[in-house]
Amino acid sequence: MATIVHDFRSDTVTRPDAAMRAAMAEAPVGDDVYGEDETVAALEARVADMTGKAAGMFVPSGTQSNLLALMSHCERGEEYIAGQEAHAYKFEAGGAAVLGSIQPQPIENAPDGSLPLDKITAAIKPDDIHFARTRLLALENTIGGKVLPQTYVEEATALARQAGLATHLDGARIFNAAVASNRSAKDLAAAFDTVSVCLSKGLGAPVGSVLVGSPEFIAKARRLRKMVGGGMRQAGIIAAAGLYALENNVERLADDHARARRLAEGLARHDGLDVELPQTNIFFLRADPAIGERFADHMAAAGIGVSGRYGQQRWVTHKDIGDEAIDAALDAAARFFAAA
């Protein structure tokens, strides 16, 4: 396996820098299961405030945050609506179904990442003993690097409320969406009952997410967190990294977006590469089948780490990807096509 020099596989590969490590080392801690870790409490309050919610709960991962949200909104045998490409449906090992006995109702995403309103309406089950009760609409922002249009969000959540559904936002990259749309995270979260915010992607913390919502909802989710093994003890050490990230790494997401754009535009100049220009820090590339495997092997041999297969690649920029990494990737691609 080739050594990865410049890692574009995901923004989860970031590593804490010296200043973040210092904040972690100096963090006051207590036993968070007993509610005694003041750094965790500060992080929960900070994310709740930034998203306009009343309460928050720190969890080890975004997957667990989404799972606890789904299990708190839905009882056994009930149903949530999500996109076919939603992380909570496609990439979380079926946890809601396996651990929560919650039925997913997936809908095909539109090209902009949204779920068409007519398809949401058609998916909501009538009150009939033959059907699972539809309880929740779950959206994701960003999704595949795309920012959901705010007018759409308002229309979709209004539709859900009219149908008696709760609403959840997988906002793993909500700050990318906020920076790209020049809106606050509070504005983007306002229409939702609950939001999951990831700290270990573009924000650069080593681990952790925060689930926010009403105090009553978070109290229910906290009991479920204990049930699934997410209660942590002196977790302030890692919560401090999240606080540092929120204070120092939000505005700089614009740099990731600019680098992703420059990289995508450079790759798009080559015949045989179909590149979707990014809105944020993620874009997808589809190589002509005649060159796809050779191109992937060439980039890997050059130390360029990218995720994907069958000719489709996902490129992700992040705080550990600087201009030199963009230059290296573009140079490697240019060498491939010069030799082709």
Around Cβ 12, how many Cβ atoms within 10 Å?
Answer: 16
Q: What local confidence, expressed as pLDDT, does residue 24 receive? A: 98
pLDDT band at 310 (very low <50, low <70, confident <90, very high): low
Residue 70: CB partners within 8 Å, gap ≥ 6? Answer: 80, 88, 96, 100, 102, 136, 138, 168
The DSSP 8-state label assigned to residue 148 in this structure reads P
Q: What local confidence, expressed as pLDDT, does residue 308 receive? A: 86
Q: Mean pLDDT over residues 276-281, rounded?
A: 97
Conformation bin of residue 274: beta by default, left when phi > 0, alpha when psi is -120 to 50: beta
Q: Mean pLDDT over residues 252-278, rounded?
A: 97
Q: Mean pLDDT over residues 119-126, rounded?
A: 97
Which has the closest alpha carbon to 58: 71, 41, 72, 73? 41
Around Cβ 293, how many Cβ atoms within 10 Å?
Answer: 13
Which residues share a beta bridge with 59? 209
Cα 15 to chain centroid distance, Å, stands at 17
Q: Indicate the helix (H) or strand (E) that contains 121.
A: helix 117-123
Q: What are phi and psi of 26, to 5 degrees?
A: -95, 0
CA dihedral of 284, 290, 295, 296, whole degrees rounded to 10: 60
Location of structure tokens 């609403």: 167
Cα distances (angstroms) measured from residue 118 to each of 88, 107, 191 = 21, 11, 19
Contact 226, 27 (CB under 8 A): no
State the Cα–Cα distance between residues 330 and 230, nearest whole angstrom. Answer: 42
Say what percent of the chain tops pLDDT 90: 97
Q: Is residue 288 scored above 90 in pLDDT?
A: yes
* pLDDT tens for each residue of 229-245: 999 999 999 999 999 99
State the Cα–Cα distance between residues 63 and 116, nearest whole angstrom. Answer: 25
Q: Mean pLDDT over residues 323-340, rounded?
A: 95
Question: What's the pTM?
Answer: 0.96
Q: Mean pLDDT over residues 180-209, rounded?
A: 98
The DSSP 8-state label assigned to residue 32 in this structure reads G
State the Cα–Cα distance between residues 46 and 54, nearest whole angstrom. Answer: 10
Contact 232, 299 (CB under 8 A): no
Rg over alpha carbons for the chain, rounded to the nearest Å, is: 21
pLDDT band at 1 (very low <50, low <70, confident <90, very high): low
Q: Mean pLDDT over residues 102-116, rounded?
A: 97
Q: Mean pLDDT over residues 34-62, rounded?
A: 98
Q: Is residue 340 scored above 90 in pLDDT?
A: no
* pLDDT tens for each residue of 202-220: 999 999 999 999 999 999 9
State the Cα–Cα distance between residues 239 and 51, nearest whole angstrom. Answer: 17
Q: What local confidence, expressed as pLDDT, does residue 274 receive? A: 96
Q: What local confidence, expressed as pLDDT, does residue 2 receive? A: 75
Say what percent of the chain tops pLDDT 70: 99
Around Cβ 41, how many Cβ atoms within 10 Å?
Answer: 17
What is the crossing angle of helices 174-181 and 253-268, to 10°? 80
Mean pLDDT of the chain: 97
Measured distance between the N- and C-terminal CA atoms of the chain, rounded to whole angstroms:
23
List, in order of start, the domains of the chain with CATH numbers: 18-248 (3.40.640.10), 253-339 (3.90.1150.10)
State the Cα–Cα distance between residues 29 and 38, nearest whole angstrom. Answer: 6
pLDDT band at 339 (very low <50, low <70, confident <90, very high): confident
Q: Give the strand order in the sheet containing 307-309.
A: 273-275, 282-287, 312-316, 307-309
Q: Is residue 162 scored above 90 in pLDDT?
A: yes
Q: What are phi and psi of 281, to 5 degrees?
A: -105, 10
Q: Indicate the helix (H) or strand (E) that contains 21.
A: helix 18-25
Q: What local confidence, expressed as pLDDT, does residue 191 receive? A: 98
Q: Is residue 194 scored above 90 in pLDDT?
A: yes
